[in-house]
Amino acid sequence: MSNGWRDRLPPVLRHGPTFWRRSVQARVVVSTMLLSALVVGVVGAFLIHQTRDGLLNSRVDAVVQEAEGETETARQQLAAAPPLDLDESAQQQALVEPIIARGSSRGFAVVLSPPIAEGVRLADGGAKFTEGLDLASVPESLQARFESVSSTAWTYTDIKTTAEISGLPAGPGVVVGSQVRLPADNRTYTLYYLYSLDEQQRTLALVSRAMLVAGVPLLLLVAGLTWLVTRQVVTPIRMARRVAERLAAGQLQERLRVRGEDDLARLATSFNQMASNLQKQIRQLEELSRLQRRFVSDVSHELRTPITTVRMASDVIHDARPFLDPVTGRAAELLQKELDRFETLLADLLEISRFDAGAAVLEAEDVDLVDVARRVVDMTSALAAQRDTRVIVHDPGVPCVAEADVRRVERIVRNLVTNAIDHAESRDVEIFVGADSQSAAIAVRDHGIGLGPGESAMVFNRFWRADPARARTSGGTGLGLSISLEDTHLHGGWLQAWGRPGEGAQFRLTLPRHLTSQLRHSPLPLVPDDARETA
């Protein structure tokens, strides 16, 4: 179901993660673009911030200076007018109307507040202002400030209008306040001048768009340059990877093409030298291996004729023991025993040579591993009695059938049981059998000397012994486990070993239920349950 769900995804989403993991060039390009975008964003934000501050500061300085000039002009006009010529209302009208008229031509609005009093706001009424202006455009925080401060003050605001005002659009703006005293009533009034920041806002938007328009092509240019630069580095690496894969596949004649004299060219030259040396050494090893296999095969076959003749003579001497003196009779028995061991070694060498030559074949049939275990116990009963060891088969109660060559499987199990008896030190040897829908397995457990660290992998090497000084009573050749491993591989199975010094060892053979199946797990654990409990 999960595969069908993935198949419904677009190709970009389905193959994108794999491409990202495998492509150094894509990761470098994307990382460079992200870092460049971060740098451009930070620099752009800083420049926009600086530009905005410059525009606003310049505008604020200009409008504050203009507002102070208008207020000073109003003070001079009030001072020059006779105090008794105008009443309070007329003086207010004479004060604010010229400023409103000049504001209409210069693009600002004017508000004349009622006389200063604590808690009195423009919204309470009594103010004179430019027609069409919403008095909410003057922040209450600025109004409250003039209750205690008489100097010029300003703040940013949001200009609101009820009708169109010439040169003063609604939107962000600056409001500047300053105070005047009317001679008619000797009371203080506040003049508020409202200036638009619409031009500065448009300028800032233009700068932002310009930076954005310039930033996107810059990022694309950086991505293109990064792609070109990384391509010059990644392309030789990809070529080296392909050549290395072909070398690993056995095409030892493959080499990198060397261009120029830079570091990559020197790397390609070194790679080619390494490949040539490896090819030379591999060919030498292959020749030595071929000679070794041929030598073992030839010697094994050549020894069969003389060993047959010696065997015939030994049989004659061995049969004549009753007529010989005790010393000669004992010598005949030793000769017969050593000839048996020599023939076993010769048979193992011939079997190894067949594996090396690829001539080993399977005669597969359905094999019950429980029956195999019982037959092997019967075969090794004499050795077990000699070693004072019990061999116990744990019957699972159900058949554990696998498609296999019964002769080879019996040989594997016999080798495992014989080795277990040889190293059990008169303790019990246990055989476990198990199976599931995919595989069948048999494990041989002893409680003897065990295996040291790293020996569980070396135990399958040819002629390897854990303790060369230890006497070998079972007459082994040192090739049994190697042959067992080859037999297991021929079935597509696993042969694994576990051991711990002083706690014994366990060997596990796992076979697929069908020869065409691939093993994924084993029905029996490799580490024994009693070992896991004491670990």
Calpha distance 505→515 (Å, rounded): 28
The pTM (predicted TM-score) of the whole model is 0.49
Q: How are beta strands 171-182 and 153-159 bridged, if at all?
A: antiparallel
Cβ neighbourhood burial of 28 (10 Å; 0-12, 13-18, 19+): middle
Whether residue 306 contacts residue 343, with contact meaning beta carbons closer than 8 Å, is answered with no
Calpha distance 392→463 (Å, rounded): 28
Quickly tell me which residue has 């150094």 as its tokens.
Answer: 24
**The most confident of 201-210, 329-338, 344-353, by mean pLDDT:** 201-210
pLDDT tens, position by position, 1-16: 445 545 555 554 555 6
Residue 250 pLDDT exceeds 60: yes
Question: Strand locations in 117-210, DSSP E?
Answer: 128-129, 153-159, 171-182, 187-196
Q: What is the predicted pLDDT for the residue at 2? A: 46
Whether residue 122 contacts residue 135, with contact meaning beta carbons closer than 8 Å, is answered with yes
Q: Tell me which amino acid residue 427 is.
A: R
Q: What is the predicted pLDDT for the residue at 439? A: 92
Q: What is the mean pLDDT of residues 350-358?
A: 68
Calpha distance 375→379 (Å, rounded): 6
Residue 391's pLDDT band (cuts 50, 70, 90): very high
Whether residue 336 contacts residue 318, with contact meaning beta carbons closer than 8 Å, is answered with yes
Per mean pLDDT, which range of 23-32, 213-222, 268-277, 463-472 is the poorest? 463-472
pLDDT tens, position by position, 103-156: 887 888 888 888 776 567 777 777 788 888 888 888 988 888 887 767 788 999
Q: CA angle, corner 356, sides to 493 and 417, nearest 5?
A: 45
Higher pLDDT: 194 or 231? It is 194
Domains of the chain (ranges; CATH) run 82-199 (3.30.450), 256-360 (1.10.287.130), 365-534 (3.30.565.10)
Q: What is the mean pLDDT of residues 406-423?
A: 90
**How many C-beta atoms surround the C-beta of residue 353 within 10 A?**
20
Q: How are beta strands 391-394 and 365-368 bridged, if at all?
A: unpaired
Q: What is the predicted pLDDT for the residue at 374? A: 92
Q: What is the mean pLDDT of residues 229-237?
A: 80
Q: What is the predicted pLDDT for the residue at 476? A: 55
Per mean pLDDT, which range of 41-50, 120-129, 272-281, 328-337 is the poorest? 120-129
Tokens for 416? 């495992």
Residue 489 pLDDT exceeds 50: yes
Residue 465 pLDDT exceeds 80: no
Averaged pLDDT score across all residues of the chain: 81
**How many C-beta atoms surround the C-beta of residue 162 within 10 A?**
11
Residue 474 pLDDT exceeds 70: no
Q: What is the predicted pLDDT for the residue at 252? A: 77
Residue 444 pLDDT exceeds 70: yes
Q: What is the mean pLDDT of residues 156-173?
A: 87
Quickly tell me which residue has 């009779």 as its tokens.
Answer: 329
Residue 255's nearest CA partner among 282, 277, 233, 230 is: 277
Q: What DSSP string runs through 270-293?
A: HHHHHHHHHHHHHHHHHHHHHHHH
Contacts of 30 (CB under 8 A, 6+ apart): none
Q: What is the predicted pLDDT for the residue at 458? A: 83
Cβ neighbourhood burial of 19 (10 Å; 0-12, 13-18, 19+): exposed
Residue 340 pLDDT exceeds 80: no
Cβ neighbourhood burial of 478 (10 Å; 0-12, 13-18, 19+): middle
Q: What is the predicted pLDDT for the residue at 240? A: 80
Q: What is the predicted pLDDT for the residue at 487? A: 84
